[in-house]
Structures are given as C-alpha cells and as structure tokens.
C-alpha cells in the first residue's frame, strides 16, 4: 500500500517519459540547419510543437504534425508494457510480453484503426519474429529460432529495452534488485550489455519512486544493482558499469549544461546512435548534473549531439530516446507536479487524441493492480 506521493511519481515517470520523447521527437536526428530553423539557435530548450510538414513514420509520430506532447515509438512501446501489466493484473514475464507484442501486431486493425498500417510496419520489424522465436513458435519469416535468438534487433547491443521497458521499475518501488531482474528478463529483444542497461534503468526508477533519494543516489543505484554479478567477472568488465561511471564523472566536472553536452558528445562520438551507453549515460549524467531538475534534465538529454572538429553542431543524435529516458527518471524522482502544468496537460491530451493512450488512466490502473488501492 503506497501513498498519493508515490502515485504522483508513477504518473510523473509515465508523463515524463512521454514529454521527453515528444520534446526530442521534434528534432530527432536534426541537422544543424534544421535545429536553427526550428529553434532559432543551436540549442533546443523549449517544448515545441511538431513543425508543419513533420511527416509520419512507423517509428515516429503516427499523424503528420501532431500536437505538442505526441510520443513516438518510445512512448507507445512503454505503454504497451504498462497495459500488459494492467491486463495481467500485475503479473508479467517475458512470455506474457511476447504474447502482447504478437497480439498488437495480429489485432492491429482493431487496436490501432486508422494507424493499422503504421502498426504493421512498427511491430512487424523484428518485434514479431523475436517474439515468435522467444515463445518457441515457428517464425513468420521462416527463419529458424537459432538464427533469431541471441541476435537482438540489430546484431549489436541496442536501445530496445531502454525505450520500451523504461517503466519496469514502477513495478517494484524501493526494490531495485527485483526491478532489475524483472526488466532484464523482459528484455528478450536485446543482447549483451543492453539488457544490463535496461536492468539499471529499472533499478533507478524503482529507487526514485520510493522517494527520499537524490539524483546522485538514483544513479548510484544503477551502479550498485548487479544481481547477476557482471561486475565481478574475471576476464571481462561490466561495460555499462564502467561507462556509466565515466558519464557521472563528466557530470561532476562540467561547469554548466552546455559544457556537459559537449563533453558527452566527445565521449559518444564513436558510438552508434542506438548504443545504450549513449542513451542511458547521457540521461543519467543530465539528471545528476542538474540535481534532478526535471526541465534541465530533459533539455540536456535532448541536446545530445554530434560535433564537428571545430566543436560546432553537426546534428542531434537519437534525442527522442535520450529525452524519454531522462524524462522517465526525472518524473519518477520528482512526481508529475514537477513538470509545468501545460506540458502535462498537453502531453496527456495529445496522446489520448492521436493514439488513444490515456496516460492518467494507465497510471491509475497500473498503480491499483501493482500496489493495491494506494
């Protein structure tokens, strides 16, 4: 039984996840020219509506130039997890989640109506094949399970878990080890250290929603939670542990938010934009550097960028994803009241209108099935 304050953090994590996703979704991968056209400068610091002409994409927004606060795939995937937990009355494992993914694909006409063809592309891309293989079914691609499993989405550790299971920590308030283990188990679409990153994210959200912790303590929970002992291995290091510690050093050394972003940019320049080291490291560094300030955390995260040799902006990186992870952490730490009221109402309204996702209703029902009546 938990109190309203905890509920606020659960809702805050869901709404923060959506705000961060939509904040970054406007300028994801944007060139320097586009960033300047949209913002008038090379720094994104306003929660903007999608520009006129912003197109639809299976992994982006599903309506052209939708209202401010409309999420992309990150927000949609995370709410599939939330709704799967609700449907199963608080019980969740990787098989139930795989079945949920298959159902979303199979029943897309009924579930997504006018967006059914976008849902087909979004969920058909590996999610179906990986779910089928995970469940021991024949795959619709005809490929044997051994060719699918242990390969992840991209053949390298990527961000699937971070952008679709960022809210798993909401299941286990104040129990970071349990949260980590559940997230790791659910993250069957990822491989290697990407699953560790998903577990770390869950551990942080778990600690944050229990309350009474600082941003730095939240980050420390990621480093300290290691139930499978990856940090104790003899011949190979815990990649996420080593890398996250470096990001935290950058956060401590940076004089201001912009210098942190520049330092991170140098740190991640050789990494793929889907690398969870970048996505989680940037978000956690932003959270710690701002001492958990929700707005600065999201702004710093969505300015993750590639710089040229002169230190000038080339393009923003995968900033809907960094934004969504940062927003989920900041919301879990501070509760929904920490975000400007118009941001919250716009985001809740936009996702209800565009996708039929009711963030408030999902948060309330999730809270009820997981924690009783609160």
- Is the Cβ of residue 88 or residue 125 nearer to other proteins in the bound state? 125
- Is the Cβ of residue 129 or residue 293 nearer to other proteins in the bound state? 129
d(CA 204, CA 200): 6
d(CA 125, CA 143): 14
The answer to whether residues 215 and 292 touch, using CB atoms and an 8 Å cutoff, is yes
Smallest CA-to-CA distance from 27 within 75, 58, 63, 72 is with: 72
Helix segments in 88-232, DSSP class H: 94-106, 108-112, 116-124, 127-134, 145-148, 160-164, 176-186, 193-210, 215-224
CB of 286 to other proteins, least distance (A): 24
- Is the Cβ of residue 229 or residue 311 nearer to other proteins in the bound state? 229
- Is the Cβ of residue 144 or residue 340 nearer to other proteins in the bound state? 144
- Is the Cβ of residue 146 or residue 373 nearer to other proteins in the bound state? 146
The answer to whether residues 70 and 343 touch, using CB atoms and an 8 Å cutoff, is no
Q: How far is CA 97 from CA 21, 82, 127, 134, in A?
A: 22, 10, 11, 10
Smallest CA-to-CA distance from 159 within 72, 23, 299, 278 is with: 278
- Is the Cβ of residue 190 or residue 304 nearer to other proteins in the bound state? 190
CB of 239 to other proteins, least distance (A): 5
C-alpha 227: how far from chain center: 22
CB of 92 to other proteins, least distance (A): 14
Give the HSE-up count for residue 166: Cα atoms under 13 Å, Cβ half-sphere.
39
CB of 4 to other proteins, least distance (A): 35
- Is the Cβ of residue 125 or residue 353 nearer to other proteins in the bound state? 125
Give the HSE-up count for residue 289: Cα atoms under 13 Å, Cβ half-sphere.
31
The answer to whether residues 1 and 371 touch, using CB atoms and an 8 Å cutoff, is yes
CB of 184 to other proteins, least distance (A): 7
CB of 155 to other proteins, least distance (A): 3
89: number of Cβ within 10 Å? 10
CB of 115 to other proteins, least distance (A): 17
CB of 311 to other proteins, least distance (A): 20
The answer to whether residues 314 and 266 touch, using CB atoms and an 8 Å cutoff, is no
- Is the Cβ of residue 67 or residue 192 nearer to other proteins in the bound state? 192
The residues binding other proteins (CB under 8 A) are 94, 121, 124-126, 128-129, 140-144, 146-147, 149-157, 184-185, 188, 190-193, 195-196, 228-230, 233, 235-236, 238-239, 270, 272
Place of tokens 């699953």: 195
């Amino acid at each position: 039984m938990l109190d309203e304050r905890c509920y606020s953090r659960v809702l805050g994590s869901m709404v923060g996840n959506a705000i961060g996703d939509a904040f970054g979704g406007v300028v994801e991968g944007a060139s320097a020219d586009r960033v300047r056209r949209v913002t008038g400068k090379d720094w994104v610091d306003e929660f903007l509506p999608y520009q006129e002409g912003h197109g639809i994409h299976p992994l982006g927004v599903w309506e052209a130039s939708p209202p401010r606060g409309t999420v992309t795939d990150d927000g949609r995937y995370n709410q599939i997890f939330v709704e799967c937990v609700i449907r199963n009355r608080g019980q969740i494992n990787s098989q139930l989640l795989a079945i949920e993914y298959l159902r979303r694909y199979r029943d897309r006409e009924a579930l997504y109506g006018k967006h059914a063809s976008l849902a087909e592309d979004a969920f058909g891309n590996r999610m179906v094949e990986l779910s089928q293989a995970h469940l021991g079914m024949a795959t619709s691609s005809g490929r044997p399970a051994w060719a699918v499993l242990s390969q992840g989405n991209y053949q390298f550790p990527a961000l699937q878990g971070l952008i679709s299971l960022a809210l798993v920590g909401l299941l286990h308030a104040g129990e970071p080890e349990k949260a980590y283990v559940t997230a790791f188990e659910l993250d069957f679409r990822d491989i290697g250290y990407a699953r560790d990153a998903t577990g770390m994210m869950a551990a942080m959200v778990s600690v944050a929603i229990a309350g009474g912790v600082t941003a730095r303590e939240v980050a420390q929970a990621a480093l300290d939670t290691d139930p499978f002992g990856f940090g104790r291995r003899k011949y190979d290091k815990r990649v996420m542990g080593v890398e996250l510690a470096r990001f935290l050093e950058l956060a401590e050394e940076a004089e201001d938010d912009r210098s942190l972003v520049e330092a991170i940019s140098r740190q991640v320049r050789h990494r793929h934009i889907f690398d969870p080291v970048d996505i989680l490291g940037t978000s956690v560094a932003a959270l710690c550097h701002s001492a958990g300030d929700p707005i600065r955390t999201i702004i710093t995260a969505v300015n993750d960028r590639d710089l040229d040799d002169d230190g000038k902006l080339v393009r923003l990186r995968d900033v809907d994803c960094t934004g969504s992870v940062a927003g989920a952490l900041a919301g879990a730490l501070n509760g929904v009241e920490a975000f400007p009221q118009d941001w919250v109402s716009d985001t809740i309204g936009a996702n209800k209108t565009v996708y039929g996702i009711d963030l408030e209703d999902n948060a309330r029902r999730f809270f009820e099935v997981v924690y009783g009546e609160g």
